[in-house]
Amino acid sequence: MAVPVLAIETSCDETSVAVVVDGVEVRANLVASQVDLHRRFGGVVPEVASRRHLEVLNPLLAETLARTGLSWQDLRAVAVTYGPGLAGSLLVGVMAAKALAFALDLPLVAVNHLEGHIYANFLVEPGLEFPLICLVVSGGHTDLVLVEGHGAYRVLGRTRDDAAGEAFDKVARVLELDYPGGPHLERLAARGDPARLPFPRPYLEEGSLDFSFSGLKTAVVYSLRRARERGLEVNRADVAAGFQEAVVDVLVEKTVMAAERHGVDTILLAGGVAANRRLRERLPERAGGRRVVVPPPALCTDNAAMIACAAYYKYLRGDFAPATLNAVPDLMLGEDRY
C-alpha cells in the first residue's frame, strides 16, 4: 500500500510543508521563505523567525494538502524536523506535528535536519546503494559523512569554525551583496577571474577531513582593506570568484579524499551550498570516475520534501517518536534524542 507522509520543516527561516508518497513521489512541497523579513537585519533573527512560522504554518498545511488531492485520512505518518536548528523555530513545527499526529491517530516521525538534506538524494535516486559519501554543506554545517545504510552515519570530518554557507554569507556581506549572500556571491563570481586573487586553501593537517573557513574569510577581508588603503580599484567579481574557487577546491578535494580512503564509489552533495553551480560542476570533474549525485537546487536548500523522504525510511523501520517529542537545537547526525 502506498505510504503518503506529510512533513513539516521549520528549523530556520523557511516554513515548509510537503507530502511525499513512498519516499519518492513529491505530491506537494511548499516553501514559505522569510528572506524579505530578515533582509533588513542582515541575518535570521530567531524571535522573528519563530513568530512568522506560527503565522504561516496552518495556512501552509491546508494549502499543501489541497494541492495533493489527498485528504487528511489518506496520510500514513506525520514527520517533523526536531533538530538541529533554532529552538523557537523548531518548536513551532514540533508542536504542530504532535497535534496533527495525535488528532489523526498517526505515527509521529522525528527527523534530523541534516539527515533530511542527505535524503534529498534518495528523493531523486531511490535506488542508491551503500556505502555512500555525502558532503553536507549548509549555512550551519560542513560535514563529510560516510552513509553505511539507512540511518547509519559516520561523520568523518566537520568544520572547526565557520560553515561553508556561513563563510559565503559573511564574505558576501563584506562585498556589500544582498541578503542572503551565497547565491548573490555565486552570480558575481561568474563575472570574475578566479585566478586573479589566489586566496589560501585551508587544508589543515595532512590527511585531515575537517574544514576551517574563517581564515579564508579573514584573508578576503584583509585583501579588500589593503587594496582600499592603497587606493587601488578592487574588482569585486574577481574577489568573489577567487573566494568561491578556494572554498570549492577544499570541499571537492576532501570529499574525493574521503571516498578514496573508504573505497566508496558514489558521492552525494547536500545542503544549501550544494546549490552552488561551481561546486556542482567541479566535484564530478575531480571524482575520478565515481558517480556523483546532486539533487536539483530547490531540493538542496531547506524544504520539507527531503524530511518526508528521510521519514519514509524511518517509517519502514518502525522508528517512531513518542508524544513527548521535544525540539533538540544541538542534535547531532546519527543521534536520536526522543
Residues binding Zn ion (CB under 5 A): 138, 302
Burial of 118 (0-12, 13-18, 19+ CB in 10 A): buried
Name the residue nearer to ligand KG4 (CB basis): 106 or 179: 179
Which residues contact residue 46 at a Cβ distance below 8 angstroms, ignoring those fewer than 6 apart? 86, 87, 88, 89
Q: Supply the minimum distance, in Å, between the C-beta of residue 3 and ligand KG4.
A: 26
134 to 22, 71, 199, 261, 268: CA distances (angstroms)? 22, 35, 26, 14, 4
Residue of 275, 285, 298 lying closest to 187 (CA atoms): 275
Name the residue nearer to Zn ion (CB basis): 68 or 142: 142
Q: Supply the minimum distance, in Å, between the C-beta of residue 105 and ligand KG4.
A: 32
- The number of CA neighbours under 13 Å toward the Cβ of 75 is 30
Q: What is the phi-psi region of residue 31: left when phi exceeds 0, alpha when psi lies from -120 to 50, beta otherwise?
A: beta
3-state secondary structure of 224: helix
- The number of CA neighbours under 13 Å toward the Cβ of 131 is 15
Name the residue nearer to ligand KG4 (CB basis): 47 or 178: 178
Q: Supply the minimum distance, in Å, between the C-beta of residue 21 and ligand KG4.
A: 24
Name the residue nearer to ligand KG4 (CB basis): 4 or 182: 182
- The number of CA neighbours under 13 Å toward the Cβ of 326 is 7
Q: Which does 182 bind (CB under 5 to 8 A by kind): ligand KG4, Zn ion, none?
A: ligand KG4
Name the residue nearer to ligand KG4 (CB basis): 23 or 180: 180
Contact positions vs ligand KG4 (CB under 6 A): 12, 138-140, 165, 168-169, 180-183, 186, 271-273, 275-276, 301-302
Q: Which does 245 bind (CB under 5 to 8 A by kind): ligand KG4, Zn ion, none?
A: none
Q: Supply the minimum distance, in Å, between the C-beta of residue 281 and ligand KG4.
A: 12
Q: Supply the minimum distance, in Å, between the C-beta of residue 55 and ligand KG4.
A: 20
Name the residue nearer to ligand KG4 (CB basis): 75 or 79: 79
Q: Supply the minimum distance, in Å, between the C-beta of residue 334 and Zn ion.
A: 17
Q: Which does 242 bind (CB under 5 to 8 A by kind): Zn ion, ligand KG4, none?
A: none
